[in-house]
Chains A and B, each alone.
Chain A
Amino acid sequence: MTTALEKTSANASQAASREEAAALLPPVDVVENAAGITLFADLPGVPKEKLVVEVEGDTLTIAGEVQLDLPAGIESQHAEVSLPRYRRAFTLSKELDREKISAEFNHGVLKLIIPKVAFAQPRKIGIRIE
């Protein structure tokens, strides 16, 4: 009983740490053509080393932390960007090739190119003998 409870709370804290605090949704453009999908996302204020693009299962997550060189003792008068982080997730469909996603990040704009799987490509199926 206790172990089960501990397990749930451990799972919950794990989930909480992955979900983290509230974040802004970056605006995106998503365009599809025969070759694949191109995604543009606006992440102003995020340096390259604070940008995270990851694919876990079918979920593509884009996250970034804003770093502004704020002078000491600054008092906010007006804030339209009210949180210092962005996060947004998308569900990928099976024809998209997760292994070949390429990314560019320039002046706060992320460009992701997600190609489609080449179905024509011969695939080798490994046979395991038990």
Chain B
Amino acid sequence: MFYRSLFPRDLFAELDRLQRSIEQALDLSPSIRGSFRGGFPALNVGTTPQAVEIYAFAPGIDPAKLDVEIEKGVLTIAGERSSSLPTDDEKATVHMAERFAGRFRRVITLPDDVDTQAVSAKYRHGVLHIHVPRKEAAMPRRISIE
């Protein structure tokens, strides 16, 4: 039970909620997969002329339990993160529980010009880095003039 005070205890969480509500209200045609923010793992996506680089911030996961799949131009990152909170200790008090626990699944649409056969992924310092190279034909080329 959480008794809400006149002045919210966690002001930033309240502001974040307000911002999300405003975004939802103003965005008349949002993405079919909804708002990106707030999911686990957090995703950063960047592109270079040669590849698409995806960084999934998924700390504390056994890499063997991370599942990366590409099907029909859609990349899926799935897995499970176990909770660090005690379940059997009766004398334990949980003061803060903000970290994500449980099963997760996130989906990213890839551009058409990528080579899904040459995707590589590595897990380092709790970040899953997925490298999706573009097809040879899509890479920038310099054309020599005769």
Specify which of B47, B55, B126 is in contact with A43 (CB 8 Å cutoff).
B126
Closest to A25 in B: B12
Docked CA distance A45–B50 (Å) = 23
Docked CA distance A42–B42 (Å) = 12
Could you tell me how many residues of chain A have their Cβ less than 8 Å away from some Cβ of chain B?
37
Q: How large is the interface on B (under 10, 10 to 19, 20 to 34, 35 or more residues)?
A: 35 or more
A29-B94, A30-B96, A33-B89 known; A42 and B59 CB under 8 Å? yes
Q: Is the CB of B92 within 8 A of A74?
A: no
Q: Which residues does chain A contribute within 8 Å of B47, judged by CB atoms?
A: 74-75, 77
Q: Is the CB of B46 within 8 A of A74?
A: yes
Q: Is the CB of A33 within 8 A of B91?
A: yes
A27-B100, A81-B42 known; A108 and B125 CB under 8 Å? yes
Instruction: Verify if A32 is at the interface (C-beta below 8 Å from B).
Output: yes
Q: Which residues does chain B contribute within 8 Å of A75, judged by CB atoms?
A: 46-48
Q: Which residues does chain A contribute within 8 Å of B58, judged by CB atoms?
A: 44
Instruction: Verify if A106 is at the interface (C-beta below 8 Å from B).
Output: yes
Q: Which residues does chain B contribute within 8 Å of A108, judged by CB atoms?
A: 57, 59-60, 125-127
Docked CA distance A106–B62 (Å) = 10
Instruction: Verify if A20 is at the interface (C-beta below 8 Å from B).
Output: no
Q: Is the CB of B98 within 8 A of A44?
A: no
Q: Which residues does chain A contribute within 8 Å of B15, judged by CB atoms?
A: none
Docked CA distance A32–B94 (Å) = 6
Interface string of B109-134 (1 = CB under 8 A from A): 00000000000000111110100000
Q: Which residues does chain B contribute within 8 Å of A73, judged by CB atoms?
A: 48-49
